[in-house]
Structure 1
Amino acid sequence: MSILESKRIVLKVGSALIAPDNQGCRSHHLLGIAQFIVHCRQRGQQVVLVSSGSVAAGRHWFSGKPASVALKKAMAATGQTDMMALWDKLFDFPSAQILLTHADLCQRERYMSIMETIESLLEHDILPIVNENDTVASKELMVGDNDNLAAMIAAASAADSLIICTDVDGLFNKNPSIHADAVRLETVNQINADIHAMAGDAVSDTGTGGMRTKLEAAVKATAQGIDTYIINGFNQESFMQLLDGNNPGTHFVANRARSSSAVLWMKHTAKAKGEVLIAEADDSVNGEQDITLDSVVAVEGDFAVGDTILVRNVNGTKMAKAKSNYSSCLLNYVLTQGSVRQPTSTDEQPLSIISKDNVAML
C-alpha cells in the first residue's frame, strides 16, 4: 500500500524537527511537513499528528542544564504552549491538543475514550495533535518515546499508515554515518532479529528515541495491519515523493492476518499487572487452548480479575500476555491450599485461569 491509498495517516514528528539545537521552536523544517498534511487533507485523507518537542521547545527558557526531573517537567509545560502555537500558525484549519500518559492507553476504558475523541475530531475536520504529557507523567506512567506512542495512536485511531520522521533516509543495513557502502532497505516484509540488529543504539541529541524505538513502533503498527514508513523528515523531497506515490525511506509492510483489536491492544499497549509462571516443558501456552490451573507453578504480583498479566515459564522466558479470569489473591490461595475440586469425570475440565481468546503470544 502506498500513502496515496491510505484513508487515515498518523504522522510522527520528532523534537529535532520542532526545536533544532534546543533553541526554541522553529518553523524551518516544519513547512514541508505542514504542506504535506494540507495536501493529504485536500485529497480527502485524514491525518493525526504525533508531535514531540515540548521539553526541547521549552529548554531555552531555563538557564543551565536540567538538574532534575521536576525541571524537565517545567520545560515541557512551557514548551508545550510554544509548540502548539507554532503548529497553529502553520495551518488555516483548527487543531486540537491531546496529552496522554501510558496510563491513559493501558487502561481499556480510557483507551476507548481516546479512540472516540480522535474519531470525533477527524469527523469534524479538526487535526488532532498528540503528545505525551511529560508535565505529569511519572516513570511508571511514561511511554518514554513518541515513536512507540505514535504506533499506539495509529492503532487507536484505526489508521492505514504510520509515517515516522527521522534524520536519515530510512533503515540501512549498517550505520550510514560510518560506512560509505551502507544500503537503505526500501521494503521490509518481516521484522526479525537480523532487522533489529541493524538498528543499533543511536539516540538523537535532541529527542529520546533512536532507530531502535522506531523499529519497536514498526513492530507494533505492522502487527495491527498498519503500513509503516521511516523517512527523512529534514528532507522536504521525502514528502513530495510520498505524495507522488513513491517510497523515499523504508516501508515496513503491514501484516494483513491480524488478531482482534483487543488482543493486539493487550500485547502492544497494556502493561502487565502481575505474572503467572508455568512449567518449563508445558506446551499448553500456544494461544489455541485455555491455560488451566494445572499449568501454573507460581503467581507473582497483585492483580484483579480482568487485568493483563504476563505468562512466563520457570526459566524466565516470556511466553504470552493475557487477561486473567481470577485475581492473584484467589490463585495464590488455591495454589497454597490445594482446595480446588478436581474433575470427577472426563467431561469436566480443569479450572481455566486464562481463556484462549484472551491470549496474545509473544
Structure 2
Amino acid sequence: MDLSQWKRVVIKVGSALIAPNRKGCSSHYLLSIAQFIVRLRANGVQVVLVSSGSVAAGSHLFPETDKVDIALKKAMAAAGQTEMMATWDRLFDFPTAQILLTHGDLRDRERYVSIRETTFSLLNNGVLPIINENDTVTTDDLKVGDNDNLSAMVAASADADALIICSDVDGLYDKNPNTHDDAVLLPEVTTIDSRIFAMGGGATSAVGTGGMKTKIEAAEKATSHGIDTFIVNGFKATTFNTLLEGENPGTHFRPYAKPMQEDVHWMTHTASEQGEVVVDNDFDTTFAVEGEQLTSDEIVEVNGNFSVGDTILLRKDDGTRIAKARSNYSSCLLSFIADQDDREFADEFQNRTGPIISKKNIAVLEKQ
C-alpha cells in the first residue's frame, strides 16, 4: 500500500460504530476514525465519509416497542440524523456538510452528475462531505437499502482511489469467525466470484442492516471502477494506525486491471432498469462492441413502463442478461413499432426517429 498515491478516499462507518447500544450516538469508537480522517487530510488526501446510524441514533427518543413500523423508523431517522451529524461535527475542527441521498437520486443521470459536482465543490473548499441514505423519505422503490453499497456508489461518483469499509470483524474470512474457530482471514482478494460471495454470511451486528455479503457487493462495485477496497475492523483503533503506516489490517480487494469507464460503471452498478426489452435467443451479443444496432424486428417483447432516457435491461428470451442501456424510445412507442407486421414501415419509422439504443449509452454485462 502506498498512501502517497491516494488523492481521495471514501470511508464507510456503520450503525454499530455510531450507536453501539442504540441509546444515542457515542464517540467511543468514532474518535479513532475521526483522528484517521484528520491525519489523511493533513497528508493532502481528500475524504468523503459515508455514515449510517440515523435510525440507531434516534431510536432511544421513542418508546420501546416490539413492532417498529416504517413510519416510526422514518421518524427515528429524522430525529437521529441531527444527533449523528452533531456528533461528527464535534470531532472535527473543520467544517462538515450533510448530503442525504436516495437511490432515485443516484440512478437519475442528471441528479447523479449534480451530486458529483457538489461533492467535488465541497472537497475543493476543505469541507468534509458526510453522506447517508435519506431514510426519512425513501421508499422500497427508491432505496439502496444498505450503506455498504451506497458507499461504493459514492466512491465511484467521487472518483475515489480507495474505499475503506469499517466492519465489526477484521475482514473477510473463509468461513464465519463467530461460529468457526478455524476461520482464516483472507488478506487479499484479486477476483470476486461465486466462491468469494459464498464466504459472506448474514449481518453479525444486531444494529446494522448490512452483513458481509453487502460488503462484498460493495467491493465488486468499487473495484470494477478501479478503486482499492478494504474491509477492516472499525472497532479497533490500531486498524487506522496500521493503514497510515501503509499496511493492510484487513482484507484488500484489488481493483480491476481495466476499470470500467465512469458512464458505463454508472449504468451497470448504479442505474436500475425501469423496464426490459426481450430479444430472440439467436441475437448477436457482440452488437455493442461491433457497432451493430438493435432493430425492432429483433424484439420479442417489451416489459415495463419506461420513458425516453430511462435505463432498460436488454435480455434474451431464455433469460440471458445482455446489457443495460438508455432507451431512446418510450415503452409505448417501442411496443408499437415492434408489433408492426409491416416491416418496411417499422424500418422506415426507426430510420427517421433514430436508433433504439445509442452506441455510447450501452453497458454490456460481463456476468450474464
TM-score by length of 2: 0.93
Please point out which of 325, 332, 338 is paired with 1:322.
325
- d(CA) in 1 for partners of 2:342 and 2:208? 53
**Contact 2:325 2:363 survives alignment (8 Å):** yes
Tell me which residue corresponds to 1:31. 31
Q: Does residue 155 of the first structure (1) align with residue 152 of the second (2)?
A: no
Task: Judge which range, 76-85 or 277-286, deviates more.
Answer: 277-286
**Contact 2:13 2:166 survives alignment (8 Å):** yes
**Contact 1:73 1:135 survives alignment (8 Å):** yes
Tell me which residue corresponds to 2:296. 293
Q: Return the offset for 1:330.
A: 1.5
**Contact 1:292 1:354 survives alignment (8 Å):** no
**Contact 1:3 1:161 survives alignment (8 Å):** no
- d(CA) in 1 for partners of 2:254 and 2:188? 7
Tell me which residue corresponds to 1:282. 283
- d(CA) in 2 for partners of 1:292 and 1:240? 57
Q: Return the offset for 1:337.
A: 2.0
- d(CA) in 2 for partners of 1:224 and 1:333? 37
Tell me which residue corresponds to 1:169. 170
Tell me which residue corresponds to 1:99. 100
**Contact 2:340 2:346 survives alignment (8 Å):** no
Q: Return the offset for 1:4.
A: 4.0
Q: Return the offset for 1:303.
A: 1.4
- SS at the partner of 1:237? helix
Note the 1:80-95 alignment, pairs <5 A.
Answer: 80-95=81-96
**Contact 2:226 2:260 survives alignment (8 Å):** no
**For each residue in 1:67-116, what CA deviation from the matched residue of structure 2 results, as whole angstroms up to 9, or x when unmatched?**
31000000001100110110011011110010111111111111111111
With over 3 angstroms needed to count, the CA separation of the structure-2 counterparts of 1:28 and 1:343, relative to structure 1, is closer
Q: Does residue 41 of the first structure (1) align with residue 41 of the second (2)?
A: yes
- d(CA) in 2 for partners of 1:70 and 1:343? 49
Note the 1:261-272 alignment, pairs <5 A.
Answer: 261-272=262-273
**Contact 1:118 1:157 survives alignment (8 Å):** yes
Tell me which residue corresponds to 2:214. 213
- SS at the partner of 2:248? coil
Task: Judge which range, 321-330 or 105-114, deviates more.
Answer: 321-330
TM-score by length of 1: 0.94
Please point out which of 312, 337, 340 is paired with 1:337.
340
- d(CA) in 1 for partners of 2:161 and 2:210? 23
- SS at the partner of 1:190? coil
Q: Return the offset for 1:320.
A: 1.7
Tell me which residue corresponds to 2:241. 240
Count matched residues: 359
Q: Which runs of 5+ in 2 are unaligned?
A: none
Q: Which amino acid aligns with 2:45?
A: Q
- d(CA) in 2 for partners of 1:286 and 1:20? 51
**For each residue in 1:176-233, what CA deviation from the matched residue of structure 2 results, as whole angstroms up to 9, or x when unmatched?**
1111221111111110111111112335210110011111111111111111100000
Q: Does residue 130 of the first structure (1) align with residue 131 of the second (2)?
A: yes
With over 3 angstroms needed to count, the CA separation of the structure-2 counterparts of 1:194 and 1:286, relative to structure 1, is farther
- d(CA) in 2 for partners of 1:238 and 1:135? 33
- Identity rate, percent: 58
- d(CA) in 1 for partners of 2:63 and 2:303? 45
